[in-house]
Amino acid sequence: MARNRGTRLAIACVIAAVVVLIDQATKAAALSGLSTQLRIPLLGDLLGLQLAFNPGAILSLGAGFTGLLTLLGVAAVALLVIAVVRARTVWWAVGLGLILGGAIGNLIDRLFSPPGFGIGHVTDFLAYGTWFIGNLADVALGAGVIVLAGVLWARRRAATAQRADTATDGPEPVAEVQRP
């Protein structure tokens, strides 16, 4: 069991590290090559590249509370680390690793990006239509949520099937005894 736990922990940590590295590398590339005014279309108007700096959370919610969002990010990362250590399946470790990597990637921005320590703005560059601009950490967060939702869905489906099998099996029928 300990070996399996160690394997799951290693999987989650490697995934989180890869997400952080890719996220920070793409943000550095965006900072050096993109503009806040010019949008580069990738898939017409559906997806493009445009630099943006987000002081808030998703859709810039809470933009006036960047410091609080940073503290919430630190707490979320701490809770995710605990969840990763307790992951019971490989798929749970994969999902948590994606979420942890995304959370750390955006937390790095909040801690070390302008305008200052703990109140930094998250670097975004993936423009989704006219809806919002995000980054690869956000994509990893979403992918992790999808993986965990899939695990929960599969678990629920298996439990429902097991209950259905148990209900239809029922007790063994009692054979009738014939009397002479």
The token duo for 165 is: 């099998």
Q: How far apart are CA 150 and CA 78, in angstroms?
A: 24
Structure tokens at 39: 């949008």
Residues whose CB falls within 8 Å of the CB of residue 116, separated by 6 or more in sequence, listed in order: none
Residue in 45, 138, 165, 169 annotated catalytic: 138
138 has catalytic annotation: yes
Look up tokens 């979403």; give the residue.
142
Instruction: Please identify which of the residues 45, 109, 124, 165 carries the catalytic annotation.
Output: 124
Cα–Cα distance list, 70 to 30, 58, 172 (Å): 22, 13, 60
| 23 in catalytic set | no
178 vs 109, 144, 172, CA distance in Å? 82, 63, 18
φ, ψ of residue 176 in degrees (nearest 5): -75, 140
* Gap between the Cα atoms of 107 and 103, Å rounded: 6
Instruction: Report the distance separating Cα 106 and Cα 16, nearest Å.
Output: 12
Q: List active site positions.
A: 124, 138
